[in-house]
Structure 1
């Protein structure tokens, strides 16, 4: 959305006021900003000064950025047909990035396909990194520090990934799973 900032401030202020069930008079009392000025801001007719914005956020006890950041829900659709995999084990292990790592999210999600008999060893990740595996089809043995776990379609496992772990497709067909890798804030 490419909305002018004063229009966004007005829209968000109106939304906050309506959500809280406040009248313009009540907001004026809370903030020390006149009812007329608040009405102009809400309609997008006025570009408020920073000092006026500070009065508003202080009086309503909200963050300054809550009036200027675009918080509209973002929708991302990922089409499987458009994904290119990372391949290992001579192409028998394919990881398709559904949602690559983003610093503000602290995780990434992949769909992984492993051909029959494929085994993939993963080096330990950094301390605090966690993996969540959700089996979609086939059968998978996961060995984590010498201990093995067998997953079938519909099963899931979570583990700290700062130790060696190996994935082995033990089924007679392709194994498919989703993996979410969580990275703790540094």
Structure 2
């Protein structure tokens, strides 16, 4: 049996409401992160377990109307916010080459160009970094992870006393809650992709 074309699908056709159901979890997650709540904090506010909220946010579980009402109240949004306007925001964020934004760097000698979508929608943040010869940094430890891929040149990275020299094509994935630092000790600039994922 062939599926009904979109223009003939009625409210009883699952294809008509699947996008609405699929958008609930991401909307809950985005609102929680915008407000700055952890899963545990939202659980305390709403009376819904953190495990259940996590499943809802990942679209592993469809919330009951009672659960959705509790979450909507805790997030201070009408329930209609979660089941309307599905088509107004694309699922993915396209960042054209000419529109990649400059990102402020806390380290001198580093130029960053963003490759990630808007922070209010996504946890991960990525940049293409150009690191001048002699530049380096020692970021403050914070919960989360970073993934580093060197495209050109070399970078020296130290994580919790472990030392690595990354060259073209080398990657390093490390937790950012441990002491870490990086430097370009070469004579030429280095280029790398840096992806940062904060703790949920």
> Which TM-score tier does this pair reach, normalised by the shorter chain?
0.5 to 0.7
Structure 1 residues 99 and 170, CA gap change in structure 2 (3 angstroms): same
Contact kept? 1:96, 1:112, Cα under 8 Å: yes
Pick aligned residue for 1:94 from 111, 114, 120? 111
- For residues 46-85 of structure 1, what are the alpha-carbon distances to aligned partners after superposition, in whole Å with 9 as ceiling and x for unaligned? xx6xxxx3x444x999465359733866562333576334
Instruction: Show the counterpart of 1:42.
Output: 7
**Larger strand share, 1 or 2:** 1
Instruction: Show the counterpart of 2:28.
Output: none
- For residues 142-177 of structure 1, what are the alpha-carbon distances to aligned partners after superposition, in whole Å with 9 as ceiling and x for unaligned? 011111111001111111111121111022100111
Instruction: Show the counterpart of 1:145.
Output: 160
Cα RMSD between the aligned structures? 3.4
Partners of 1:84 and 1:23 in 2: CA distance: 45
What displacement does 1:102 show?
2.5
Structure 1 residues 102 and 87, CA gap change in structure 2 (3 angstroms): closer
Structure 2 spans left out of the alignment, 5+ residues: 23-82
What displacement does 1:183 show?
2.6
**Higher Rg of the two aligned structures:** 1
Partners of 1:77 and 1:104 in 2: CA distance: 14
Instruction: Show the counterpart of 1:117.
Output: 134
Partners of 2:19 and 2:93 in 1: CA distance: 25
Contact kept? 1:101, 1:107, Cα under 8 Å: no
Instruction: Show the counterpart of 2:54.
Output: none
Is 1:107 matched with 2:111?
A: no
SS at match of 1:106: coil
What displacement does 1:131 show?
0.6
TM-score normalised by L of structure 1: 0.59
Structure 1 residues 79 and 60, CA gap change in structure 2 (3 angstroms): closer
Contact kept? 1:96, 1:111, Cα under 8 Å: yes
Structure 1 spans left out of the alignment, 5+ residues: 1-20, 25-38
Instruction: Show the counterpart of 1:77.
Output: 95
Corresponding pairs, count: 138
Partners of 1:101 and 1:183 in 2: CA distance: 14
TM-score normalised by L of structure 2: 0.56
